[in-house]
Structures are given as structure tokens and as C-alpha cells.
Amino acid sequence: MKAPISQRPIIRPLPTMDRARQVTDALADYVKDAALEAGDRLPAERELMAALQVGRSTIREAIRHFQALGVIETRKGSGTYLLKPVSKATIHMPLSLDTTHLRDALLQTLEVRRGIECEAGMVASLKRTPRDLVVIEEKLNEMERVHIKEGTSGPEDLAFHLAIYDATHNPLFRQLLEQMRETFWQFWQHPFERQDFARRSFPFHRTLFNAIAARNPEAAREETLKILEVVEEDIKEMSK
């Protein structure tokens, strides 16, 4: 039997650390301690912001993480609801590699990226909506802006690829990325301490977008392969 709302556990403020990760953990603990079940409503965004003393962007990042794992859904005008029980044991099960030998880890991860991202680009080119295209181009424009200004665009590059994943309208693509976030993120953290890592792939992001916009899955696959070929070449060259 569920406890009355007034008797449910209190969500307490967090110390300053990895805020998004802590919000994710706090929500998982709340779901468990409050014995929430599928169909139950989670606290509103403003309530979470006040209780955890974090900003809206941090709350939304944690919510997106749960959505990517398929454990909650947000209903417009109604709120956020639990789809299935969750705990810290089930939200942090990353697939990862031993990164002692970075070159080998990157090449092994690249093999997986090649399969996932080629397919994602092809599916996105067939299923993308006009709104998806707007979002992908917004991320691309930001990536290009930062790249031209600073010569590097790690987080913006990742955001561009995530937008393509979302345009597939298949949540499994983003779920796979969430489970491999740690290993995938290595590609955007300047491996081998090289700011120019994979910089030569920059122009192919625009041609990939053009292929998706043209609903051309084969072209999307070819442009994705061009990006990843540059990445592979740089891994091998920069790790010598």
C-alpha cells in the first residue's frame, strides 16, 4: 500500500558535484523509497528544482536520461509519468572498455559507432519530420559556429549526432548511446591531447545533414562513413 503524499520521503538538496548525475540518482531513490509504480506521476519540474536546488537545464538533462532508458514519459500539459520501476542499479549500467590502451579502445568503439551511426543516419533520412530537420540544422549551425570560432566543437558535435538519433524516432538508438556514453564520449574529449582530432571530418557533417534533408538513406550512410573514416585515420596516426 502506498503512503499518502504527505508521508512520502522528502527529496533533499544536493551538494555541489556532478549535478545531473546526482539528480538522476535522487530521482531513482525517490521512486524506490516512495514505492512508485508504472503509471504514477513524478514531481513537477518546478518542485524538483526547488527541492534539489538545481536549475531547469539540470532537471531536464536527468529527465532526458530517464526518457532515453524508456522508464518515464512526459505528457504535454499533464506531467511526467513512470513507465516502469527504476533504481540506481538499473539506470547506471554502462557498457565500457578498458581504456588503459586508448588506441585499441577507440578502434573497438569505432566499430560499434560505425554500425549504429550509419543505420541511424539512414533511418533518420527516411523518418525525420520537418521539426526534426529544424533541430538537426540548429545543432549543426551551432557546431559550425563554435568550430569556426574556436577550432573545436566536441559537445556541439555530439549534440548534432544525438539530434540525428532522435530523428529516427526509435528510442533504442539513444538508449544504446546512453549505455555507451562513457566510451563514446572519448571521441569528443580530444584523445591523445590533440585539439585537431577528427577536425578533417568537419565538412562532412553538413553533407550528412543535406542527405537526411533530401531523404537519401544511401547518401546519409556514405557521408557518415566519410566522417568515421577520418576518425579512424586520426586514431591510427595520432597514436603512433
Residues in the chain: 240
Residue carrying the nine cell digits 504527505: 6
Given a contact cutoff of 8 angstroms between Cβ atoms, the answer to whether 201 and 187 are in contact is no
**pLDDT-derived band of residue 54, with 50, 70 and 90 as boundaries?**
confident
Sequence-distant (6+) residues with CB within 8 A of 161 are 117
102-238 is classed CATH 1.20.120.530: yes
194-229: pLDDT as tens digits? 888 889 999 999 999 999 999 999 999 999 999 999
pLDDT of residue 35: 85
Interval 74-93 mean pLDDT: 77
Taking phi first (over 0 means left), then psi (-120 to 50 degrees means alpha), and beta for anything else, what does residue 22 get? alpha
Q: What is the mean pLDDT of the chain?
A: 85
Q: What is the CA radius of gyration of the chain?
A: 20
16-31: pLDDT as tens digits? 446 777 888 888 888 8
Residue predicted with more confidence, 182 or 199: 199
Matching fold, domains 5-91 and 102-238: no
Domain limits, the chain: 5-91, 102-238
Given a contact cutoff of 8 angstroms between Cβ atoms, the answer to whether 68 and 178 are in contact is yes
Residue 3 has pLDDT above 60, yes or no: no
> What CATH class is the domain 5-91?
mainly alpha
Interval 174-190 mean pLDDT: 75
Residue predicted with more confidence, 167 or 58: 167
Q: Kindly state the cell numbers that stand for 16.
A: 555541489
Rounded distance between C-alpha atoms, residue 50 and residue 56, angstroms: 10
